Amino acid sequence: MRVLSGIQPSGQLHIGNYFGMMQPMISNMAEHELYAFIVDLHALTSVHDAQRLATGTLEAAVDFMALGLEPERCIFWVQSDVPEVTELTWVLSTLTPMGLLERCHSYKDKIAKGIASSHGLFAYPVLMAADILLYQAQRVPVGKDQKQHLEVARDIAIKFNSLFGDTFVLPEPVIDADLAVVPGLDGQKMSKSYGNTIPIFTGEKELKKRVMAIVTDSTPVDEPKDPDRCNLYNIFKLFAPADRLKEVRDLYLNGGAMYGKIKLELLELLWEYFRPARQRREQLLADPGQVRDILRQGAEKARAKAAPTLEEVRRRVGLRY
Ligand code: ATP
Ligand code: MG
């Protein structure tokens, strides 16, 4: 099975990215043909600062490797190092109905959050379709927020195939129901661009600040609360061992759950959970040249996979005379 997914270097990677995409990708490494990439062209829709984008790209690659992605067991590259994807984006955009993009929630959510609207942000799902179709990916592990974009990619592939003949594999999303949307500090989807994240790699002091800022309600301690509707609980459950989670769940249901205490416990769990990755990250950061080499080699492999598909597309649509 060919499995592909990308992550934007649009800010510090967070636990939503980890559970929604990075961990499923890493666990697919053993069994499947894996394509993992840092999508800097996508991040350009929200980051217009060269230094921040360039540094963020390298750091996202380092973070992914620190968390367990082994570049020798997959194809791992930076999106813009394979320019073929932008050509395919154009071809696909000429057959993407406007209405399909106008219905996309992600665009509307980002605009509502104050991110400047642009043609690139609007056309984001077409670039994403090109990412997936160019490599003929069969499975795409993503968070639930990307489900609609996957449907767009499928619709575009179906349209192309019916107009020009069978060319693209139809991709399927892989979404773990339990981890589909990790809530942010404010209870909305945790997003790099919303400033409501728990970053995977940040100092202990900053981490504490974020955890303490998780929004909870003002129900008195002794009163029962619904754990499943509590933002703190929904984050806590990702890290707590099963027996402890059961105890805390009972406290919610029967009264006695103290948010402050649970937050401190969560902080401890988070810090320990990512400790080994933090150490690997330090080692990787010490030699950025090596990381760049890995990405360059990955891009060569990705490009070799992309070239035949793009050539077929050119031929099928008439861009060869
Ligand atoms: P941005 O705010 O810039 O869009 P993001 O935090 O949404 O950043 P992306 O790079 O857009 O992160 O998404 C990378 C992957 O992480 C996608 O597969 C996406 O579905 C997943 N993901 C992002 N946020 C969450 C979340 N809160 N819960 C689960 N999965 C998530
Ligand atoms: Mg996103």
CATH number of the domain at 108, please: 3.40.50.620
Are 249 and 190 spatial neighbours (Cβ–Cβ below 8 Å)? no
- Does 178 show up as a binding residue in the annotation? no
What DSSP line would sit under 115-171, residue for residue?
A: PPP-HHHHTHHHHHHHHHHHTT-SEEE--GGGHHHHHHHHHHHHHHHHHH-S--PPP
Give the domain extent around 74. Answer: 2-182+287-317
Question: What is the predicted ipTM?
Answer: 0.99
pLDDT for 196-242, tens place per residue? 999 999 999 999 999 999 999 998 999 999 999 999 999 999 999 99
264 and 292 fall within a common domain:
no
86 and 23 fall within a common domain:
yes
pLDDT for 3-62, tens place per residue? 999 999 999 999 999 999 999 999 999 899 999 999 999 999 999 999 999 999 999 999
For residue 238, which amino acid is it?
Answer: L
Query: Which tokens in the block code for residue 319?
Result: 């861009």
Q: 235 lies in a domain?
A: yes
Are 181 and 142 spatial neighbours (Cβ–Cβ below 8 Å)? no
Q: 217 lies in a domain?
A: yes
Residues with catalytic roles: 110, 189, 192
Please name the residue whose Cα sits nearest to atom 14 of ligand 1. 7
CA of 17, closest atom in ligand 1: 16
Closest ligand to C-alpha of residue 198 is 1
84 and 152 fall within a common domain:
yes
Please name the residue whose Cα sits nearest to atom 11 of ligand 1. 8
